Amino acid sequence: MADTNQDLIPLREKLDNDGWKIRLMTQEDYLGAEDYIELSNYGTLIAYIHKPLNQVTEEALISYAESGGKLLVLHHSLASAKTANPEWLKFLGVSIQTESGSYPWKVTAETCHTMVNLAPGHYITSHGISYGKKVDFSFSERPDLKGEYPAFDIPDTEVFHNQRLSGDDEKVVLFGYKVTDELNSAALQLKGLPTMEPTSGWYKPAGKGWVIYLQAGHSTDDYRNPNFYQVILNCLNWQANDPVFASAAFRPPAFTTLDLDLHEPREVILSDGTEVSVQVENIKHKYDSCRKAVRGAEVKIRINNHYTVLDSGMYNLPRRAAGIQVDCPVTSALVHNRDGVLFNPWALDKDVRLRLWPGDSPWIVPDTFKYPVEAAWFSSDTQMTNDPTYVDHGDLPGNPESGIYYHHGLDVGGSEGQNEVYSAVDGLVLSSADLTLSDYRKNTPVRPRYDVIYLLDERGWIYRNSHLYSIDPGVKTGRRVKKGQFLGLLGKEGASGGWSHFHFDVSARQPSGKFGSEDAYPFYWQSYFADHAGKLKAVARPHKLIKIGEEVLLDGSRSRCFSGDDSGLRYKWIFSNGTESDSMVAYKRYGKPGFYSEILQVTDQIGNSDYDFCPVLVIAPGKPLSEQPHTIHAAFYPSLGLSPGQEITFKVRSFGINPLEGKEIWDFGDGSPRVAVCSDGNANVHNPDGYAVTRHAFQAPGCYLVSVSRTSGLGYTATARLQVVVEE
């Protein structure tokens, strides 16, 4: 509700673009509306009224909050004109100080309003906000608030100096202001007025509801300020009675997120107070020749005059540079039209997204996240952030460019109906199967489906757990789950493409103000190896797509050593034709279409070895989809803690092949006879018997390289490989 329909145009436009349902009205509109008593239908009521309130409006706003509504009061709604509304001021618990016979407005105009976060860690003050500095704050009437706090600036606006908060109510102070313009500060001091007050933002209970006040919002440009707009979004999303949003519960992430355009400079303060300047100097994208799909991005950045180059997404971990850690989850090249619809699950509105951590910080607070799948690391195929989906035959040139699906979230392949899935976090169940909490049906990433669980954690992040074969009956909407609690079994339900895997997607408020995908690959890595001690890990992924005769680059540099320096690792590529290369980076050409699986062996300085496999899809240029090679997926269960003689279940399914063409042939790598099985070729995506099953036991400890292959009527072979470790 505003003075005129023009007052909140920038805020209305931004909220409308973010999917909020909005109705804008003036006091006069409200008085004339037949349905004026239906304010209770709205989840939040925003008041921006400069003039004195008429009695009907005043009573309606107070009644709305006291009856259970959330009332957000902006700027002019608590200006000196409200001395004409004593009941309004009493309701808010605020007095307007005036001097007898003097003009009642005590305001500094055309100044910089520095919003000082006096409640660090609160959801409203901390979620998704990039604080560019820290400032000293003090106010004589609140000595308990003296200290150094994060702050951000709203330039060219105005600040009120004559509001005083009642000391006898339950206000929670969120923001103070500090006037930083030297000229105006000097003028204020000459007039005897303070330059700092704890009145820039607060909230309080009001009957069954709540009132939130934000002093900023005078200028239309205030709402274009991304930090102030994020504060407003936080107010809209904040649920006072939900413990996830309670003041003591909200936990900011360990990193700071920046969305930047090319050459855009930015100053930022990290969570430990480290000040850094950041600028993107250059972006170089890598495209394949088959579909013109993005296969990588090299992003050159400058951090405090130190230059470094980051690879975007694609199994890359944060890199150390200039005394901090930084990664680049995504670039704007992945925002594109897919099937005629703009595909931007990352909510990226600029050229590049960066995440910055203090130098020794974990990537995610260790006690807040757990690897959610009961499976050995890379025990099956995976599709991680930015990787064009491929396992289900989806990365073929027969699909139009608009249909490229750059994967967001993390896919971990497994054995249908066997691998257990756990909750990665402590959280509230927003949705389980088809039942969703009413407050989360709109303006959130929650899209209920029979095979999906959505969780909300203390960071305000929403976790999608998808393609579940079954959901534990105890995981019910509205209940809370603990980190590590059993959720269900891995499957291929829903829009899985027919391959059995667990899709895990984290959505968080991004700098754009919208919910967008958060790259959780570093969190997976950190939490898995915290729970499963390892000496080193080979990483040959992501997969490759090339034409016959084209040279492909195979790169083992993403491998990591936990027992020493990565520079001491030795690499060996073992190719499908029996040749080898002892280089970390190898080049290979293929003369025949097929789905190959190339072996990477990594060995550390004391002789420990690990293996991973790079899928390479080689296509025949100019051939229709029906004449291209098929793909294959294999998995085994269990994959952890195996012992000699233990029976292991192996499953396989081929994709893009006639079910009557060929069979899958297993080679277990232990000298035992090969085993032939036949899957359905993904003829029926959700067929419970779609995977062909066999069982095998290894009689001695060791690391076994297992392979399974199927050859089509065209003579094209698809091969999948597995590393099976049997302990002594």
| Rounded mean pLDDT for each run of 10 residues along the chain, 728 residues in total | 68 80 78 60 87 88 92 91 91 81 70 91 83 87 90 91 82 90 49 76 93 92 90 87 57 88 90 88 97 96 96 96 97 88 93 96 95 98 97 84 86 98 96 91 90 93 97 96 98 98 95 90 97 92 98 97 83 97 97 98 94 98 93 98 98 97 98 98 97 98 98 98 96
Residue with tokens 């500090």: 178
Lay out the sheet containing 44-47: strands in order across.
Answer: 44-47, 70-74, 209-214, 196-206, 172-179, 107-117, 147-160, 133-137
Cα distance between residue 178 and residue 702, in whole Å: 66
pTM of the model: 0.82
Q: In terms of residues, how long is the chain?
A: 728
Where b means 16+ CB within 10 Å and e means fewer, 486-508 reads ebbbbbbbbebbbbbbbbbbbbb
Angle CA 244–249–255, to nearest 5: 100
Query: Residue 249's pLDDT is what?
Result: 57
Cα distance between residue 690 and residue 687, in whole Å: 5
* Cβ-Cβ contacts under 8 Å for 484 (sequence gap 6 or more): 370, 422, 423
Query: Residue 270's pLDDT is what?
Result: 85
Residue 57 contacts residue 27 (beta carbons within 8 Å): yes
Q: What are phi and psi of 122, to 5 degrees?
A: -75, 145
Neighbours of 706 (CB within 10 A): 20
Within the chain, how many helices (H) and strands (E) appear?
8, 48
Query: Residue 286's pLDDT is what?
Result: 96
First-last CA distance in the chain: 72
DSSP state of 332: G
Residue 456 contacts residue 430 (beta carbons within 8 Å): yes
H or E element at residue 686 = none
H or E element at residue 235 = helix 226-237
Q: Which amino acid, 145?
A: L
